Protein backbone atom coordinates (compact mmCIF):
# COMPACT_ATOMS: atom_id res chain seq x y z
CA UNK A 1 0.00 0.00 0.00
CA UNK A 2 1.22 3.49 -0.83
CA UNK A 3 0.23 6.30 1.52
CA UNK A 4 0.94 9.88 0.54
CA UNK A 5 0.84 12.63 3.15
CA UNK A 6 -0.14 16.08 1.91
CA UNK A 7 2.84 17.77 3.54
CA UNK A 8 6.63 17.70 3.56
CA UNK A 9 6.64 18.47 7.29
CA UNK A 10 8.54 15.53 8.79
CA UNK A 11 6.48 15.67 12.00
CA UNK A 12 3.35 14.86 9.98
CA UNK A 13 5.02 12.27 7.76
CA UNK A 14 6.62 10.52 10.75
CA UNK A 15 3.27 10.48 12.58
CA UNK A 16 1.81 8.51 9.66
CA UNK A 17 4.83 6.18 9.50
CA UNK A 18 4.48 5.38 13.21
CA UNK A 19 0.71 4.97 12.92
CA UNK A 20 1.15 2.27 10.27
CA UNK A 21 2.77 -0.06 12.80
CA UNK A 22 -0.40 0.08 14.93
CA UNK A 23 -2.82 -1.18 12.27
CA UNK A 24 -2.56 -4.54 10.54
CA UNK A 25 -3.97 -3.16 7.29
CA UNK A 26 -1.26 -0.47 7.21
CA UNK A 27 1.80 -2.51 8.22
CA UNK A 28 4.43 -2.35 5.51
CA UNK A 29 2.89 0.67 3.81
CA UNK A 30 5.20 2.92 1.85
CA UNK A 31 4.70 6.43 3.29
CA UNK A 32 5.91 9.59 1.60
CA UNK A 33 5.15 13.28 1.78
CA UNK A 34 4.28 15.64 -1.04
CA UNK A 35 3.92 19.40 -1.08
CA UNK A 36 0.29 20.44 -1.56
CA UNK A 37 -1.76 23.56 -0.97
CA UNK A 38 -4.22 23.29 1.90
CA UNK A 39 -6.61 25.68 0.18
CA UNK A 40 -7.31 27.41 3.51
CA UNK A 41 -5.67 30.27 5.38
CA UNK A 42 -2.16 29.89 6.78
CA UNK A 43 -3.67 29.72 10.27
CA UNK A 44 -7.06 27.99 9.97
CA UNK A 45 -9.67 29.04 12.50
CA UNK A 46 -12.73 27.04 13.44
CA UNK A 47 -13.53 23.39 12.95
CA UNK A 48 -14.92 23.85 9.43
CA UNK A 49 -11.85 25.57 7.97
CA UNK A 50 -9.46 23.17 9.71
CA UNK A 51 -11.36 20.10 8.49
CA UNK A 52 -11.51 21.57 4.98
CA UNK A 53 -7.74 22.08 5.01
CA UNK A 54 -7.11 18.48 6.09
CA UNK A 55 -9.51 17.14 3.43
CA UNK A 56 -7.95 19.32 0.72
CA UNK A 57 -4.49 18.05 1.65
CA UNK A 58 -5.65 14.41 1.66
CA UNK A 59 -7.39 14.69 -1.71
CA UNK A 60 -4.46 16.53 -3.32
CA UNK A 61 -2.04 13.91 -1.98
CA UNK A 62 -4.15 10.95 -3.12
CA UNK A 63 -2.18 8.69 -5.46
CA UNK A 64 -4.48 5.73 -5.98
CA UNK A 65 -4.25 4.17 -2.51
CA UNK A 66 -4.59 6.52 0.46
CA UNK A 67 -4.09 10.27 0.79
CA UNK A 68 -3.56 11.78 4.22
CA UNK A 69 -4.05 15.38 5.28
CA UNK A 70 -3.18 16.73 8.71
CA UNK A 71 -4.14 20.31 9.53
CA UNK A 72 -3.75 22.25 12.76
CA UNK A 73 -6.33 24.87 13.55
CA UNK A 74 -7.65 27.15 16.24
CA UNK A 75 -11.09 26.89 17.76
CA UNK A 76 -12.76 29.66 19.73
CA UNK A 77 -14.05 28.48 23.11
CA UNK A 78 -15.78 30.78 25.58
CA UNK A 79 -15.99 30.01 29.26
CA UNK A 80 -15.67 32.12 32.32
CA UNK A 81 -15.73 35.67 31.13
CA UNK A 82 -13.59 35.55 28.02
CA UNK A 83 -13.10 33.93 24.67
CA UNK A 84 -10.11 31.63 24.41
CA UNK A 85 -8.36 29.89 21.53
CA UNK A 86 -7.75 26.17 21.66
CA UNK A 87 -5.56 24.24 19.23
CA UNK A 88 -6.79 21.10 17.47
CA UNK A 89 -5.22 18.76 14.93
CA UNK A 90 -7.47 17.29 12.26
CA UNK A 91 -6.54 14.25 10.17
CA UNK A 92 -8.33 13.32 6.98
CA UNK A 93 -7.82 10.05 5.13
CA UNK A 94 -9.02 9.85 1.52
CA UNK A 95 -9.36 6.58 -0.41
CA UNK A 96 -10.46 8.10 -3.71
CA UNK A 97 -14.14 7.94 -2.78
CA UNK A 98 -14.60 8.71 0.91
CA UNK A 99 -13.03 10.96 3.52
CA UNK A 100 -12.43 9.66 7.04
CA UNK A 101 -11.88 12.48 9.52
CA UNK A 102 -10.57 12.44 13.07
CA UNK A 103 -9.62 15.11 15.58
CA UNK A 104 -7.23 15.35 18.47
CA UNK A 105 -7.99 16.66 21.90
CA UNK A 106 -7.89 20.43 22.30
CA UNK A 107 -5.52 22.47 24.42
CA UNK A 108 -5.90 26.11 25.35
CA UNK A 109 -3.40 28.71 24.22
CA UNK A 110 -2.14 31.51 26.45
CA UNK A 111 -4.13 34.75 26.16
CA UNK A 112 -1.04 36.68 24.99
CA UNK A 113 -0.71 34.26 22.06
CA UNK A 114 -4.41 34.66 21.20
CA UNK A 115 -3.94 38.44 21.01
CA UNK A 116 -1.09 38.06 18.49
CA UNK A 117 -3.09 35.58 16.40
CA UNK A 118 -5.97 38.07 16.28
CA UNK A 119 -3.45 40.52 14.78
CA UNK A 120 -2.88 38.05 11.94
CA UNK A 121 0.08 36.00 13.13
CA UNK A 122 0.30 32.22 12.87
CA UNK A 123 0.52 30.20 16.07
CA UNK A 124 4.28 29.65 15.73
CA UNK A 125 4.94 33.33 15.00
CA UNK A 126 2.69 34.39 17.88
CA UNK A 127 4.55 32.11 20.31
CA UNK A 128 7.78 33.78 19.14
CA UNK A 129 6.33 37.32 19.27
CA UNK A 130 5.38 36.99 22.93
CA UNK A 131 8.86 35.56 23.61
CA UNK A 132 7.75 32.11 24.66
CA UNK A 133 10.08 30.49 22.11
CA UNK A 134 13.35 31.52 20.52
CA UNK A 135 12.31 31.15 16.88
CA UNK A 136 9.15 31.08 14.81
CA UNK A 137 9.62 27.58 13.36
CA UNK A 138 7.97 25.72 16.23
CA UNK A 139 5.61 23.83 13.88
CA UNK A 140 8.39 21.77 12.34
CA UNK A 141 9.62 20.64 15.75
CA UNK A 142 7.76 20.07 19.01
CA UNK A 143 4.85 22.38 18.24
CA UNK A 144 3.06 24.62 20.71
CA UNK A 145 1.70 21.56 22.50
CA UNK A 146 5.20 20.16 22.98
CA UNK A 147 6.41 23.46 24.36
CA UNK A 148 3.43 24.00 26.68
CA UNK A 149 3.49 20.41 28.01
CA UNK A 150 7.27 20.60 28.47
CA UNK A 151 7.76 17.77 25.99
CA UNK A 152 5.18 15.40 27.49
CA UNK A 153 2.95 15.64 24.41
CA UNK A 154 4.91 16.50 21.27
CA UNK A 155 3.16 17.68 18.12
CA UNK A 156 3.61 14.27 16.49
CA UNK A 157 1.51 12.65 19.26
CA UNK A 158 -1.32 15.11 18.72
CA UNK A 159 -1.25 14.31 15.00
CA UNK A 160 -1.25 10.57 15.74
CA UNK A 161 -4.26 11.00 18.02
CA UNK A 162 -6.19 12.65 15.18
CA UNK A 163 -5.06 9.90 12.79
CA UNK A 164 -6.25 7.19 15.20
CA UNK A 165 -9.65 8.88 15.41
CA UNK A 166 -9.87 8.89 11.60
CA UNK A 167 -8.94 5.20 11.52
CA UNK A 168 -12.05 4.43 13.59
CA UNK A 169 -14.07 4.89 10.40
CA UNK A 170 -11.91 2.47 8.41
CA UNK A 171 -11.77 -0.21 11.10
CA UNK A 172 -15.52 0.01 11.65
CA UNK A 173 -16.48 0.60 8.04
CA UNK A 174 -19.80 -1.26 8.17
CA UNK A 175 -20.98 0.71 11.19
CA UNK A 176 -20.14 4.10 9.67
CA UNK A 177 -21.47 3.36 6.17
CA UNK A 178 -25.02 2.75 7.41
CATH number of the domain at 25, please.
3.90.950.10
What is this structure's pTM? 0.92
pLDDT at 90: 99
Residue 74 domain flag? yes
Residue 59 domain flag? yes
Region class of 60: left (phi > 0), else alpha (psi between -120 and 50), else beta: alpha
Domain count, the chain: 1
Within the chain, which residues score under 50 in pLDDT?
A: none
pLDDT at 45: 95
Q: Containing domain of residue 149, as a range?
A: 2-172
Residue 178 domain flag? no
What beta strand segments (E) does the chain contain? 2-5, 30-33, 66-79, 82-94, 99-103, 107-108
Residue 134 domain flag? yes
> What length is written for the chain?
178
pLDDT at 111: 93
pLDDT at 141: 72
Residue 88 domain flag? yes
Residue 102 domain flag? yes
Residue 177 domain flag? no
Amino acid sequence: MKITVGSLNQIKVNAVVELCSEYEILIGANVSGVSVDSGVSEQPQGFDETIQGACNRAKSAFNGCLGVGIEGGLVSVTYGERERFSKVSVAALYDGTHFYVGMSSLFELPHSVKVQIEKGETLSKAMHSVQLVGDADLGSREGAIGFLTKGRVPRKEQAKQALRMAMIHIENNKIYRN
